[in-house]
Each structure stands twice: as C-alpha cells, then as structure tokens.
Chains A and B, each alone.
Chain A
Amino acid sequence: GAVVSQHPSWVICKSGTSVKIECRSLDFQATTMFWYRQFPKQSLMLMATSNEGSKATYEQGVEKDKFLINHASLTLSTLTVTSAHPEDSSFYICSLPRGVVDQPQHFGDGTRLSIL
C-alpha cells in the first residue's frame, strides 16, 4: 500500500495565489522529508529538506521566502508556494527517506501546479 500521501494532485489557480501542498507519511515517523520540483521533460531537482521541528534546509538557488516549508509533526510536511506566478508552474514531488539504505526513498504521487 501507499507509504506517502501527497495532496492535492492537481492545482490550477490565478497568478498571485498562494498554494499549499501536503505530504503525509502513512506508516513511518518521518523526521525528514524531501521536496523536489520537476519541469516538463526534465529531471527531478531537489528543492529542500524539511526537518521536523526545525527549519528546512534549502538547496542553492531556491528562494526560501517563495517556497515555505513546514514540518510540524512526524507525519506531515507542507510546501507553500507563496504568491505563485506562471514560472512556478511545475510538478512538485515529496519523498520520504527511510534512513536505512536498503529501504530507499518512497515518493508521493506528485502535485501538478498550473498558474494562469
């Protein structure tokens, strides 16, 4: 069964809107989750690492104020795209590292964000 639940799967909204994406761990207490962004026909790029109870760690070039990450509990991490613009349109995917090498990351089903 599913290990990671990501919601919503599809969002279409107007420019300037803030959008929240949720990533839930269904069977594992996750102290860390990863957020990726995937542009059309491109690979996944790691945006940030969310850390339960502390600040997220952002990759170089990712705007912290634009992409707000909150990891308030051991089962939920959220990514909020603030004041979204058309260039933020992308496929956002969360993943859950297991912390054990022979149990690789489990990925959510992704969120397709389209900003008009």
Chain B
Amino acid sequence: AQSVTQLDSQVPVFEEAPVELRCNYSSSVSVYLFWYVQYPNQGLQLLLKYLSGSTLVKGINGFEAEFNKSQTSFHLRKPSVHISDTAEYFCAVQRRDTDKLIFGTGTRLQVFP
C-alpha cells in the first residue's frame, strides 16, 4: 500500500520569503509523485509532477520540487512567495499501474503581507 505524509498542517510565512512544504511517502512499488494546489471552494490544480528523469521538477507559479528516493521525499519549494500563493497544497502519489491518487492530508500555506 502507499501512503503520503505531510507533516506540516499549516505553514505561515511573510510575503517574499522562501517556503518549503514537506512531503514524505511510503510505497513498496515505484510511484509517480504530484503536488496539487486547492484554492477555497475550488477543485485541485496540478502544480507539478515527477514521472522519471531529473529529480528537480519545475512547475507553475514559480514552484519546484525535488524527488529524493533515498529519503522518500518530494518537498515543494518556492524562493519568494506572494499573497496569492495562500492556499491548500496536497502531495499525492500514484502507482505506475493505476490511475488512483493517494493524497496527503494537505498543508495550508498562509502568506502574510
């Protein structure tokens, strides 16, 4: 079975500061890794994905994530956040033989002016 852990339920940060949202996963098989963002009362929007190849993945809105196989992590980073980045962020894994996503519990990023 697969599982995803997002240790930080909330991350407060000031505007223009860097941020890292942590994600660790557990799986006995190879998986694909995703980060999604959810704005209030909306569905999920894909930020970035890791399928294979380079472990540093760049996504939309200036976000990037690094896949670390030895640490089974896929942390999300942004060097300088904006007020508009305030949202819920979900890390997710997907087995390579299925379409089903397993989500973490989410991290609420709150950017203050």
* Closest chain A residue to B10, Cβ basis: A41
Count how many pairs of residues, one from A and one from B, have CB atoms less than 8 Å apart in the complex: 56
| In the assembled complex, A97 has its CB within 8 A of some CB on chain B | yes
Interface size on B, residues (CB 8 A): 22
Which of B18-26, B64-72, B76-84, B96-104 is near enough to bind chain A? B96-104
Query: How close is A65's CB to chain B, nearest CB, in angstroms?
Result: 23
Q: Scan residues 1-27 of chain A and give those whose CB is less than 8 A from a CB of chain B.
A: 4, 6, 9-10
Q: Are A43 and B51 in contact (CB under 8 A)?
A: no
Q: Are B32 and A46 in contact (CB under 8 A)?
A: no
- Once A34-B100, A101-B32, A104-B34 are accepted as A-B contacts, the answer to whether A43 and B90 lie under 8 Å apart by CB is yes
Interface residue from A9, A41, A43, A46 paired with B100 (Cβ < 8 Å): A46
* Closest chain B residue to A99, Cβ basis: B99
Q: Are A44 and B103 in contact (CB under 8 A)?
A: yes
| In the assembled complex, B113 has its CB within 8 A of some CB on chain A | no
Which of A73-81, A82-90, A107-115 is near enough to bind chain B? A107-115
Please indicate the chain A residues that have their CB under 8 angstroms from the CB of B41 in the complex: 9-10, 91, 109-110, 112
Q: Are B49 and A104 in contact (CB under 8 A)?
A: yes
* Closest chain A residue to B45, Cβ basis: A107
Q: Are A109 and B99 in contact (CB under 8 A)?
A: no
Interface size on A, residues (CB 8 A): 27
Docked CA distance A109–B44 (Å):
7
Docked CA distance A37–B104 (Å):
14
| In the assembled complex, A42 has its CB within 8 A of some CB on chain B | yes
Interface residue from B43, B49, B94, B105 paired with A108 (Cβ < 8 Å): B43
Interface residue from B34, B42, B94, B105 paired with A42 (Cβ < 8 Å): B105
| In the assembled complex, B11 has its CB within 8 A of some CB on chain A | no
Please indicate the chain B residues that have their CB under 8 angstroms from the CB of A4 in the complex: 43
Ranked nearest first, the 6 interchain pairs of A and B with the lowest CB-CB distance are: A107-B43, A97-B99, A107-B44, A43-B103, A109-B43, A43-B105
